[in-house]
Amino acid sequence: MVQTSMEREIQCAFPRNRLASRVITTTRKEDVAASCSFPDDDFVYSMKPLDANDLQDLFLSRIFKDEVDFPQELKQVTTDILRKCDGLPLAIVSIASMLATKPASRQEWERVRDSICSASQPNHEHEIIEQILFMSYYDLPHQLKTCFLYLSQFPEDCEINRLLLIRRWVAEGFITEQRGQSLEDTAHSYFTELVNRNMIQPVHIDYYGMPGACRAHDIMLDLIKSLAAKENFSIVMNDVKAVFLPNKIRRLSVQGNFWQGTNISNTRSLSCFGPVKNLPPLFQFKILRVLDIEGCSSAQNSGYPESICTLVHLRYLRLVDSSIKRLEGDIGRMKSLKTLDLSLTLIEQLPAGVTKLKQLVHLFVPFTVTLPKGIGKMEALEELSVLNAIKTSPEALEELEKLEKLKVLNIMWNPADGISDQETMKRSLIKSFCRLGENNLRSIYIEGSDRCCMNFMAESWCPPPKHVRRFCMEGLVPLFSKFPS
């Protein structure tokens, strides 16, 4: 039996157990609130709208740094806009974020005010918010619309890692080169713009004010999904099959059951979240550029993960699966691969063919991995994490110095007793670190155990790494008895 959306919301918010009476449920639906509190109707608390002063403060704080910057000629039109927003904070913040990108002129603000229609339904809150969010979407530049719609690929309430998202944008070809900026720098600016416009919510903000991830408000996510489906941008598959499917599916997100009979010959992006049933063999996705599989070890009859290396057009590959212990096939055939993320697998040996990936920019592997000889041939590599120095041969360690574009290096140094060539390894590591410091190294992260130290690096790191912006050490004891001069 298929549950209604209301039944699902009640079941998730109000579990049947002895602690149920202590649960606080938040919802915008009066019937859900009434069902959760039955038979005690007095337990329902209806949030009151903000008062006029708070509404204006919220609105203006998104646009002007100080109240004195607020032109008096905009006072009446501001009152009109706030009245049309009907005291709804999400609507107010969204419209203010859009106006912040426009000239503070009466003509421009009146145009926006006139675009907000009066609600036609008695329960009009959702209608007003939806209308304003649509307006905010259509006000986005074309390239930001594409990046925004891409969030439809991710499950509800999902925290989307910022770096993961922008790398997928790049792999999809959404980002165009701008003078003086790399593709990822441009993608970072797109992300920041979507945050500033209040189209996505930043989470896990670091010391420098940079969000580590984002999420879409549930009302915003409904908008994204409806627009993505309307424009045939992407399809989300779950356990409830759609009545109509387009002939060409370019982006596909499977979050449950793969719908049989789907034409996948044009699919360029495939994301799988959680256990997936009936996934067709991966080699049938012949033109796939992006493959992101998270917790999908139960995929049946898909040739997963054995057939992954047949996907020669892949630009982005991320696997989150603790059942994967090795990659089969010739990974060297995947000449277009730019991001390879195996960090959440149990792979211990990278195939030798990985050194043929001349366009690979980001390589993420678990600390258990042994890197092969020839890593110096990966001339486009900018990020390597994690390099286990002890599991890597001295020859491969010395080859690191050839990676002239390497910007980010995460390394583990945990020498065990009885390693005969430890001194050779130290010399190789010193040589590579000194050369990398002269080139483009920006970030260094070194992790050690409670018994190791790296004093051998302290005075040998010459010349110093002149471009480094971030230096991080982690261990139970300091890796250096004194900080390198």
pLDDT one-digit tens code per residue, 79-100: 888 887 777 788 888 888 888 8
pLDDT band at 118 (very low <50, low <70, confident <90, very high): low
Lowest mean pLDDT among 78-82, 113-117, 287-291, 431-435: 113-117
The pLDDT of residue 243 is: 63
pLDDT band at 430 (very low <50, low <70, confident <90, very high): confident
Side chain identity at 42, as an amino acid letter? D
The upper half-sphere exposure of residue 15, i.e. CA atoms within 13 Å in the direction of its Cβ, equals 5
Mean pLDDT of 253-266: 90
What is the C-alpha separation between 408 and 365, in angstroms, rounded?
Answer: 14
Q: Is the pLDDT score of 123 beyond 90?
A: no
What is the C-alpha separation between 166 and 170, in angstroms, rounded?
Answer: 6
- What tokens were used for 101? 């990108």
338 or 87, higher pLDDT: 338
Mean pLDDT of 56-64: 85
Q: Given strand 408-413, what is the order of strands in its sheet?
A: 235-237, 251-254, 269-273, 290-294, 316-320, 339-344, 362-364, 383-388, 408-413, 443-448, 470-474
Q: Is the pLDDT score of 10 beyond 60?
A: no
* Mean per-residue pLDDT over the chain, rounded: 83
Dihedral angle sign, alpha carbons of residues 87, 91, 93, 98: negative
The upper half-sphere exposure of residue 428, i.e. CA atoms within 13 Å in the direction of its Cβ, equals 17
Exposure of 75 by Cβ count < 10 A (0-12 exposed, 13-18 middle, 19+ buried)? Answer: exposed
pLDDT band at 13 (very low <50, low <70, confident <90, very high): very low
Mean pLDDT of 162-187: 93
Q: What is the CATH T-level fold of the domain 52-122, as seen in this structure?
A: Helicase, Ruva Protein; domain 3 (1.10.8)
- What tokens were used for 84? 């049309």
Phi, psi of 115 (to 5 degrees): -80, -15
What is the C-alpha separation between 432 and 403, in angstroms, rounded?
Answer: 9
Taking only the tens place, the pLDDT of each residue in 363-416 is 999 988 988 889 999 999 999 999 988 888 888 888 999 999 999 999 988 776
Q: Class of the 142-215 domain? A: mainly alpha
Mean pLDDT of 201-215: 91
213 or 31, higher pLDDT: 213
Task: Specify the 3-state DSSP secondary structure of 133.
Answer: helix
Greatest mean pLDDT among 163-167, 392-396, 447-451 lies in: 163-167
Dihedral angle sign, alpha carbons of residues 332, 333, 337, 340: negative
**Residues 296, 237 contacting (CB under 8 angstroms):** no
**Domains of the chain by residue range:** 5-43, 52-122, 142-215, 234-346, 367-485
User: Can you list the alpha helix ranges (DSSP code H) found in 324-418?
Assistant: 394-399
336 or 198, higher pLDDT: 336
Mean pLDDT of 219-233: 88
The pLDDT of residue 425 is: 83
Q: Is the pLDDT score of 4 beyond 50?
A: no
Task: Specify the 3-state DSSP secondary structure of 466.
Answer: coil
Closest CA to 444 of 461, 423, 468: 468
Greatest mean pLDDT among 264-278, 415-429, 436-450 lies in: 264-278
157 or 450, higher pLDDT: 157
The pLDDT of residue 406 is: 94
Q: Is the pLDDT score of 213 beyond 80?
A: yes
270 to each of 118, 156, 369, how far by Cα in Å? 41, 17, 26
In the chain, the percentage of residues whose pLDDT exceeds 70 is: 89
Q: Is the pLDDT score of 127 beyond 80?
A: no
pTM (2 decimals)? 0.81
117 to each of 82, 121, 124, 245, how far by Cα in Å? 13, 12, 11, 33
Name the CA radius of gyration of the chain, rounded. 27
pLDDT band at 164 (very low <50, low <70, confident <90, very high): very high
pLDDT band at 419 (very low <50, low <70, confident <90, very high): low
The pLDDT of residue 179 is: 83
422 or 238, higher pLDDT: 238
What is the C-alpha separation between 318 and 306, in angstroms, rounded?
Answer: 15
64 to each of 71, 87, 101, 183, how far by Cα in Å? 10, 20, 11, 31
**Residues 25, 33 contacting (CB under 8 angstroms):** yes
Closest CA to 169 of 304, 292, 287, 274: 292
Mean pLDDT of 260-276: 91
pLDDT band at 287 (very low <50, low <70, confident <90, very high): very high
